[in-house]
Structure 1
Amino acid sequence: MFELNKDYSRENIHQTVGGNKESFLPASRGKIVAACLRPDLNPRAPEYIVCNSGAAARASGFTLSRQIDPVPVFIRQDSDRYRFVGHFVVQESYTTQVDCAPFAQGTGFTSGQISRVIKMTPHK
């Protein structure tokens, strides 16, 4: 499906897995189908995914946090180049401000703007 450490456009990703081309956690049929992460907003990706408190990010984070299926994870390299870094599964999800606060550093968000942090682990 995707080749490790190869770059893909959002259009390539969308054509392969579906979902919204604009969302950082595109969903299809009630499941998150990929994680397309910007390093300036998710500096600890792919191990940790930070969801802000906007309605779309909150909903996507909630959906991903309950998902058992692995998702392909991509890290943005340039305006429309995302590097595939592997398939990951949810290990834990943090929602309290105390638990999320340590992950705000380097994201551009304050701890109060973070609704959820999802700890991911590589899929075996």
Structure 2
Amino acid sequence: MKFQFGRSYSRMYISSAIGGELRSYMPREAGRIVAICVSPNLNSNPPKVILVGKSSDVEKRAEQFIQQAEALPAFVEIAPSQWMYVGVWALETATTDPAVIAREAAHVSRTDVVRVLYLKQVSQ
């Protein structure tokens, strides 16, 4: 399923098109991460900068995304139940450096961040 750049979709539509859970920031289908769905309330510059919170499931999905090394469709929440398609993004780098984490987390007043993922857009 092809998404239109800049158009918003519901999580139900995204899930029906490519699979994955309705609530995860990195939904999985058949053991594979299939999309990136992030909120600006929790991330300093989504999807370019994703803040990984201290939670077993959240951390496992970030690690899987890193290991999967695959460009994925990305969506940014623009309103409740509205997720704007912002293109296909891939991991550029990831860090657990405390200084970087503190700097990025300060943008959104988060104290639970354990890793920062930096992504790059590879296509629309």
CA distance, structure 1, for counterparts of residue 103 and residue 68 of structure 2 = 24
In the other structure, the counterpart of 1:114 is 113
* TM-score, normalised with respect to structure 2: 0.91
Counterparts of 1:72 and 1:84, CA distance in 2: 7
After superposing the two structures, state which structure 1 stretch, 19-28 or 92-101, moved more: 92-101
| RMSD, matched Cα | 1.3
Identity of paired residues, percent? 25
Query: TM-score, normalization: structure 1?
Result: 0.91
State the alpha-carbon separation in 1 of the partners of residues 13 and 109 from structure 2: 28
Q: Quick check: 2:93–2:119 contact (8 Å CA) kept in 1?
A: yes
Task: Give the length in aligned residue pairs.
Answer: 122
Q: 1:1-124, aligned counterparts within 5 Å?
A: 1-110=2-111, 113-124=112-123
Per-residue CA shift, 1:54-94, capped at 9, x if unaligned?
Answer: 11111111111222211111110111000000000111011
Moved over 4 A (4+): none
Partners of 2:67 and 2:83 lie apart in 1 by 25
Structure 1 spans left out of the alignment, 5+ residues: none
> Which runs of 5 or more residues in structure 2 are unaligned?
none
